[in-house]
Structure 1
Amino acid sequence: MDNTTVLTFTMTAYTVMENYKHGLFTMFLLLYCITIILNSLLITVIHQNKALHQPMNVFICMLSINEIYGSTSLLPAIMVVLMSETHEVIVKWCMAQVYFLHTYAAAEFLIFAVMGYDRYAAICFPLHYHSIMSNSKVGMLVALAGLYPLIAFACFYSLTLQLSFCGKVMSKLYCVNMELVKNACSNDSQLYISRVGLVILPLFIVPQVVMIAFSYVKISRVCMNLSRESQRNALKTCIPHLLSLLIYTIGLLFEMMQTRFDMIRVSFETRIFMSLYFVIIPSIANPVLYGLGTQIVRVQILNLFVRYKILPTNLAKAVIVA
């Protein structure tokens, strides 16, 4: 960074949005508020109810914390740049945002892998579940999911931090590592970091994919020997995890396509949606799936609303029964 000749990056994607910026600002603000409220509510309900202090719910809280982290790294910055006259971002903030967003993405996938392992232990070894998922094991998995992305990406990102920048144009709504590399003064550095990135990328994906695949292969084999009712119960506990994983994987694929391939033939609106999907959609969908989609959590949320007189008792009971 000491050799950087450029002080700001210009985010060219915002110029097309100039005529709609007030409406878009309102939409992004609403989405951010919804994300913070839903995820904070889920964390609060799980924290306040001892009946919900199970390993899976610990990981759900961690997932919600990561959603708040990711959306806070993205949406406030988008709103600020959207309303600015020049649509410029200071280089140092841009580099910080790259770190935040990439560690969010890596942590999200790792948390899903840990949750898959939890479902494997719960369904395949129900009698030994609490000994397998002991407090020390849960603590170790939480530390792994929280610290590994921060440390692993920092090691790779140290290469980008050494770059000097001569270009100052970014074609996205936010900063990503590949866009930083494209603006580097040295073509050799661009090629080297791009190749290193392709080598390191599997470290953030392959172990997690293997863990998730292993977990569900084992779960499938066990379920084949269960009764219909037991199969339904097992599937019911896995559906939120599988849906969340699918939603996030789609967003991750969108982001990889945007970063690595020329998307000029795709409409601007589609590219905007694809670029924002990987943070916004999972951040809203996950608390809904694990909160409103899980009966015991839904009941506790409604009880919390009744306690603080946000919702009438009769209406809460009707919702619970439904």
Structure 2
Amino acid sequence: MNQHKYLYFTIFLLTYIVTIVLNTCLLAIVYKKRALHEPMYIFICNLAFNGIYGSTSLLPHIMTKLSTQSHTISLVNCLIQIFCLHTCAIVELMTLAIMGYDRYAAICTPLHYHSKMSPRKLSCHDTSVNNIVGILLMGVYMFPQFFVILFSYAQILRICLHASKECQKKALQTCIPHLLTVLNYFFGICFELIQCT
């Protein structure tokens, strides 16, 4: 591995540069040409932007490790990298699924395609059904995480009630930043839910 690390570094660097340059050019071309402001090209732009995001979350870190003698990663950086790669994969699959539906609509119902995929904004129509479905989906996706958070802090509180003052102080110092983050997030969600209803 060590004898080939400069070769690997060069390959990753060239791959990263080509990825950034080509995807940026694609985004710029679609942005400049108004004739390309159609659903399929917007989806392609999503894929291009996601390609930049995914490669930036992985390749610079790999190149840094290849150019140094350090071959370890901190827990925080590891978790950030995992998050970025998973969100990149999710966005990629979602965009490909939407592109598949777009092609389905264009091929199977060609006469209705332009009326379904027109630039007219959905907000001009009644969106109450969309709001209800969105709220239900948020509940389905968020309930398990919310339950884990409540369970975890209930257990911490139970243990802290029987612990020494020093242990209680350490637990508070550890948990308060996370609790503030959770509260901030849920206040934001509450405002979003109020806005949707």
TM-score range, shorter chain: 0.5 to 0.7
- Structure 1 residue 89 displacement after superposition: 1.0
Alignment of 1:279-298 (within 5 A): none
- Structure 1 residue 122 displacement after superposition: 1.1
2:55 to 71, 77, 82: 71
TM-score, normalised relative to structure 2: 0.60
1:46 to 30, 35, 49: 30
Match of 1:170 in 2: none
TM-score, normalised relative to structure 1: 0.38
Task: Report % sequence identity.
Answer: 48
In structure 2, what is the Cα distance between the partners aligned to 1:121 and 1:53? 18
In structure 2, what is the Cα distance between the partners aligned to 1:106 and 1:113? 11
Partner SS state of residue 88, structure 1:
coil
Q: Which runs of 5+ in 1 are unaligned?
A: 1-16, 138-147, 163-322
Match of 2:117 in 1: 133
Partner SS state of residue 102, structure 2:
helix
Runs of 4+ in 1 over 4 A off after TM superposition: none
- By relative contact order (CA 8 Å, sep 6+), the higher-ranking structure is 1
In structure 2, what is the Cα distance between the partners aligned to 1:86 and 1:56? 43
In structure 1, what is the Cα distance between the partners aligned to 2:111 and 2:32? 27
- Structure 1 residue 56 displacement after superposition: 0.7
Q: Give the counterpart letter for 2:53 in structure 1.
A: Y
In structure 1, what is the Cα distance between the partners aligned to 2:18 and 2:70? 28
Would you say 1:26 and 2:10 are equivalent positions? yes
Q: Give the counterpart letter for 2:70 in structure 1.
A: T
Q: Give the counterpart letter for 2:103 in structure 1.
A: R
In structure 1, what is the Cα distance between the partners aligned to 2:101 and 2:117? 10
In structure 2, what is the Cα distance between the partners aligned to 1:89 and 1:81? 9
Q: Give the counterpart letter for 2:108 in structure 1.
A: C
In structure 2, what is the Cα distance between the partners aligned to 1:86 and 1:80? 9
In structure 2, what is the Cα distance between the partners aligned to 1:133 and 1:73? 33
Match of 2:96 in 1: 112
2:81 to 97, 101, 115: 97
Partner SS state of residue 52, structure 2:
helix
Q: Which runs of 5+ in 2 are unaligned?
A: 123-136, 153-197
In structure 2, what is the Cα distance between the partners aligned to 1:134 and 1:92? 44
Q: Give the counterpart letter for 1:25 in structure 2.
A: F
- Structure 1 residue 63 displacement after superposition: 0.8
In structure 1, what is the Cα distance between the partners aligned to 2:111 and 2:90? 32
1:123 to 107, 110, 126: 107
Q: Give the counterpart letter for 1:70 in structure 2.
A: G
Larger gyration radius, structure 1 or structure 2: 2
1:84 to 43, 51, 68: 68
Aligned residues: 130
In structure 2, what is the Cα distance between the partners aligned to 1:81 and 1:94? 13
Of Structure 1 and Structure 2, which has the larger fraction of its residues in helix?
Answer: 2
2:42 to 42, 49, 58: 58
- Structure 1 residue 134 displacement after superposition: 3.1
